[in-house]
Amino acid sequence: MRLQGWGRFPDIAAELIEPVSVELFRKSLKDKNNVLPLIPRGAGRSYGDSALATRVISTRFLDEVIAFDQTTQTIQCGSGTTLNDILKLIIPKGYFIPVLPGTKYISVGGAIAADIHGKNHHKYGSFCSYVSELSLMLASGEIVKCSKTKNSELFQATCGGMGLTGIIIDAALSLKRVPSVSIRKRSLAAGDLIECMDIIDENEESEYSVAWLDCLASKARLGRSIIHLAEHCEEGPAEYESSIRMSIPFSTPSMLLNKYSISIFNWGLYNLRKYGSEFSTVGYESYFFPLDYLKNWNRLYGSKGFLQYQFVVPITHSRQTISEILKKIHASGKGPLLSVFKKFGEGNKNYLSFPFPGYSLALDFKKEKGLFPLLKELDEIVLEAGGRLYLAKDARMDEDVFKRSYLDWEKFLNIKSQVDPENVFASMQSDRIGLT
């Protein structure tokens, strides 16, 4: 069958293996008739080719909630369990997942493999900061326990390691108590990038912070934006929200997305927010997962798919670098439909984890002629500033860019060579960036 990531580029003819038990995972690894490398795949929500290979082994049937301990505020579950599954269980009990990405439909194993981040990295770090222990099946079929104190180097390689150290079987996660899942949101309009960054800097105590940028605005309006600051309401419901989901039934013509239609959309969105109410109370779905209301929204970019380009640059270079990138995008005429702008706090010790102190911008570009040369130019700007690209969103970074920006890649490779000397676990991405 043909498989692809959420960006629908690239795709590959793959053998999909879907074991229904831990023992069948082990049997798949020991099958002497299968000599080709394979890669674990959870919910298929990574954007590029990090979960694509000639053989793909799905963890979707590892979806059992093993234990939920309210005394220790932890939950143990199979790696195929989605964040949505966990939220259904814990929200009525007054708990929440400490770090949430932009969709609830990702697996726990995928969240660990990508060491995902959310709208609160500046205060709470990334997802793996709340993984107390995980069980990892190595290429040999052996299952080992890993944590910050047990097999710690393997833990650091697995968290953010894009599935290249083994198959995550299950994990124990720390939860947080919240007074309510209702969100008190404050939306502020910024006339340009500098004002946007000033507002974010001045509101670092906000629990959640994210901004939308108009990437086609130029000159005095360069980087005009809407910043959304938020906290949990002190009072409100503790009820799981079930999204009413519209569906995109087919791929829309990509010609509908162009600099003119996107400019009109951006103008309307900016002015709607600018003249709207500054404060509002919304459900957690609306704030954390706005795109989940639209099923198969990736089809909006047409049959050729799209690429998300997400980078982080250090704080000291962020204003100049991001301004330069926005000018480059405006000059190209290839405006992204979606953009997400966030400030990161301290990073962690995981070898391939993406965040470090700085500003991150994620941009969704439809795949079209001339896009790859533009992204290559952006690569050089990011590298010059000491930044890097996010592996979970990447579909085209080359080996040179990766190894110049992920400075601990050799430490990662040293651990991988110890637990997987024959490169049983490999993906299209790992081959492309020189890890396999």
DSSP SS3 for 11: strand
Q: For the segment 7-26, what is each residue's pLDDT rounded down to a tens digit?
A: 999 999 999 999 999 999 99
How far is CA 217 from each of CA 33, 109, 196, 408, rounded to the nearest angstrom? 56, 38, 14, 37
Cβ-proximal residues to 112 (8 Å cutoff; 6+ apart), any chain: 79, 127, 128, 131, 134, 158, 159, 168, 171
The per-residue DSSP string of 173-225 comes to: EE-EE-S-SEEEEEEEEESSHHHHHHHHHHTTTSSEEEEEE-TT--GGGTT-E
60: pLDDT strictly greater than 80: yes
- Mean pLDDT computed over 268-296: 85
106: pLDDT strictly greater than 90: yes
In the chain, pLDDT over 70 holds for what percent of residues?
A: 95
249: pLDDT strictly greater than 90: no
The residues with which 183 forms a beta bridge, in sequence order, are 232, 282
Q: Average pLDDT of the chain?
A: 94
The two three-digit tokens of residue 240, written as one number: 């799981």
Q: For the segment 111-161, what is each residue's pLDDT rounded down to a tens digit?
A: 999 999 999 999 999 999 999 999 999 999 999 999 999 999 999 999 999
State pTM to two decimals. 0.96
Distance CA 59, CA 122 (A): 31
Q: For the segment 149-174, what is each residue's pLDDT rounded down to a tens digit?
A: 999 999 999 999 999 999 999 999 99
Question: What's the confidence (pLDDT) of residue 327?
Answer: 96
The amino acid occupying position 111 is: A
Q: For the segment 176-215, what is each residue's pLDDT rounded down to a tens digit?
A: 999 999 999 999 999 999 999 999 999 999 999 999 999 8
Q: E-strand spans in 276-415? A: 279-283, 294-295, 306-314, 338-344, 358-366, 388-389
Question: What's the confidence (pLDDT) of residue 260?
Answer: 63
Question: What's the confidence (pLDDT) of residue 262?
Answer: 74
